[in-house]
Amino acid sequence: MTTETSRPATDASADAAADPELACPISPVVDIVFSRWTSPILWSLHAFGRQRFVELERRIENITPKVLTQRLRQLERDGLVVRTYHPEVPPRVEYEISELGRTLSPLFAQIAEWGAANLEHVERARRQYDGPRA
């Protein structure tokens, strides 16, 4: 009986073509963490701690209540945010980043560092690209 230890490159290429996540293993993470509005929500919860809905709404400019609700539910479903309901009068709900969500801190720090070091270069490249063409 033989055990297959490696696949021919053609099989791996076929798998990657059939499943784009195999071709780009960061795609699922990007879809979860960097979809529209998700990053600002996670950043706000990370930077400012536990917050009520209205606090998040004020901190994240231009987000609608409907979209904020949808994103918070998705983040709770994904295990990145914890929702705590306080049965008071009036009821109070707070959101905070979960332990799993906190594991994204190094990633956020790296991205912020990259931005500080490189966004000026990106803007310069854009101006050069968009400038007058011969």
CATH of the domain at 69: 1.10.10.10
Distance of CA 51 to the CA centre of its chain: 19
**In total, how many domains does the chain have?**
1
- Model confidence pLDDT, tens digit, residues 63-75: 999 999 999 999 9
Residue 14 lies in a domain: no
- Model confidence pLDDT, tens digit, residues 84-113: 999 999 999 999 999 999 999 999 999 999
Residue 51 lies in a domain: yes
Entry pTM: 0.74
Strand spans (E) along 35-128: 51-52, 81-86, 92-97
- CA 58/CA 74 separation, integer angstroms: 20
Residue 116 lies in a domain: no
Residue 118 lies in a domain: no
Domain of 77 in residue numbering reads as 25-103
Residue 47 lies in a domain: yes
Residue 128 lies in a domain: no
Residue 1 lies in a domain: no
Residue 17 lies in a domain: no
